[in-house]
A and B are shown apart, each in its own frame.
Chain A
Amino acid sequence: MSGDGASFFDSRICGGVGAHHDAPLPNRLLAILAAMTALALAGCVPAPIPRGPVETGPAPGETIHVFTPEATEAPAPSPAPETAVGEGVVAGQVIMGSPGSSASLAGMDVTLRAVTVAMETGALTALLTRTAVTDAGGAFRFEGLPVGPTHLFYEVSAVYNGVPFSAWVVADAENAALSIPLTIYEATDDAGVITVDAMHVVVSRYHDALSVFQMLVYSNQSDRIYVNPVALDDGRRVSVRAPIPPNAANVIFDEDATGVRFVITGGSAYDTEYVLPGSRSHVISFSYLLPGDTSEIVLPITYPTARVNVLAQPGLRVRSPALTAAGVETIEATPYDAYTGGAMAPGAALTLRFSAPGIGVGAALAILLAGAALAAGIVWIIRRRPHAGWTPRQTMLIRQIADLDGAFEAGRINRLDYEARRADLKARLAEDSQND
């Protein structure tokens, strides 16, 4: 972290918590993300909740229920150049997903948007926007809609109790009449309904920094969406909270292309997407960088957590009282040391300590041999000293006298000069050594 060292951590990525650069995180993390997502969501019921039409590419006619708060709805589609009109029909019904709710579904405003997606760039273009009002049974209907071009999506949305809900459907050229059920929920701000099924942590070296990837798989045990009782300064409501280490840099959230879904404040990241009811209904993942000399990471537990999985790049040697070694897992041909931990309660913390790898027998022998060789050299130098007890300066003078003697004996210097120079050297040596 030296200023002029221009380390990678300092110069390229040290942006502090909340900094959002396009830092080149290792591609391996993407593979890990994919692998862990599959692991986290395998067999989950109901189906995982995609976060947008661009990323998932659902099949034509498939209905995907998503919750898209307006604040996070992005990227914003380009304005429609003209309103297309065709034979398409989108009909649906608002459904209350929270049993026991007495809410009336009649008279709700429902907005429909037709959006095309440029698959190459992901750019969205809005073709049209229309509104309708639900009937007594909560049904809505839009007619005269285009059925093409390809990559056309319809989104219907409604706001209930201040919370926006939406659903998408992919246009189908073979089926002009599409149906979209739009499920809404009552809300709860009781954090007790939230549990973490699994917290995954991947730690690896990244240049001169420590790269940490975290994935949290949440379940909502209630039949209502979870809304954090604490609102942001700007009034926005959020849901789950994930603490971020105070010295984390370059925090990158997955599934947050616009950088507005997550808000970091007070040392924690808050998700502006609410947690839908159900098991494993909510997943967030993010990565960040820590200084390379980090020896300990403390990850506070904010919700009851069923299990913890940690993967560490070989050589990092993770130690944690909450973890036990679980062998080696290979991801993208890269082996990771695996550790697992059991249930952890809110208020606890997962502490990961890192230590240097032990020195093997071969390395120890090499060190011993190198040390012995160096020591032998030092001993040889010491033994070459003319007399034990002389200082380095005195030794130098003694060597000069000896060399002078040699030069005189070899006839390279006349006697007069030899005697005078030798006497001068001896006098200097004596003056350097006198003790009274």
Chain B
Amino acid sequence: MSGALALVALGVVILVVTWPFIAARRPAISIHHAASADLRRRSDLLAARNRLYRTLQELDFDHETGKIADADYAAARHRLVAQGVSLLQQLDALPAPPEDDPIEAAVGALRGKKA
């Protein structure tokens, strides 16, 4: 019984001390749907870019080792480079992140405290 009372008292103390901090963080952060869609698009494009880069590397390796003929290699590489250019153009076309990006602010705040 006394143990239960002690736990209750402990809980009250913790709640009293931490409540201001808990209450202060109650408003939730929200990001607009359009901004979210841009970030997803950028992520997808970067992932596609990386896959394409890896494919190019593999193609170059296969050509260097003689697994693929010069003519086939040239045609495939031209096609991949064109895709890469298109990806980079799409990436450049994405809107720049806002200066007050809350995510970057949060990451910066976290890293600043760590430093």
Contact = CB atoms under 8 A, between A and B. Distances in A.
Interface of A: 355-357, 359, 363-364, 367-368, 370-372, 374-376, 378-379, 382-391, 394, 398-399, 401-402, 405-406, 416-417, 419-420, 423-424, 426-427, 429-431, 433-436
Contacts of B110: 384, 386, 398-399, 402
B29 A383 contact: no
A367 B24 CA distance: 26
B2 A359 contact: yes
B17 A372 contact: yes
Contacts of A374: 10, 13-14
Name the prevailing secondary structure of the A interface residues. helix
A390 B29 contact: yes
B69 interface: no
A367 B31 contact: no
A262 B94 CA distance: 94
Given A367-B9, A391-B28, 15 more contacts: A356-B2, A357-B2, A367-B6, A386-B106, A388-B24, A388-B27, A389-B27, A398-B110, A416-B50, A423-B47, A424-B47, A426-B103, A427-B43, A430-B36, A436-B32
A375 B14 contact: yes
B103 A375 contact: no
B33 A434 contact: yes
Given A359-B2, A435-B32, A386 B13 contact: no
A394 B46 CA distance: 22
B113 interface: yes
Interface in B60-111: 102-103, 105-107, 109-111
A367 B10 contact: yes
Given A367-B9, A371-B17, A382-B18, A433 B29 contact: yes
Given A372-B13, A375-B13, A382-B21, A402 B39 contact: no
B30 A416 contact: no
Contact of A356 (B5, B13, B32, B49): B5
Contact of B21 (A368, A379, A420, A433): A379
11 contacts: A356-B5, A379-B18, A382-B18, A387-B29, A389-B29, A416-B49, A416-B50, A426-B103, A430-B39, A431-B39, A434-B35
Shortest 9 CB-CB contacts between residues of A and residues of B: A371-B13, A356-B1, A435-B30, A375-B17, A386-B106, A430-B36, A388-B25, A423-B43, A387-B106
A426 B39 contact: yes
A367 to B, nearest CB: 5
A384 B113 CA distance: 8
B106 A390 contact: yes
A352 to B, nearest CB: 15
B39 to A, nearest CB: 4
A393 to B, nearest CB: 12
A402 B115 CA distance: 11
A430 B24 contact: no
Nearest to A364: B9
Contacts of A431: 36, 39-40
B14 A427 contact: no
A379 B17 contact: yes
B18 A375 contact: yes
Contacts of B24: 388
Contacts of A368: 13
B21 A383 contact: yes
Contacts of A382: 18, 21-22, 25
A398 B114 CA distance: 13
A426 B43 contact: yes
Contacts of B114: 402, 406
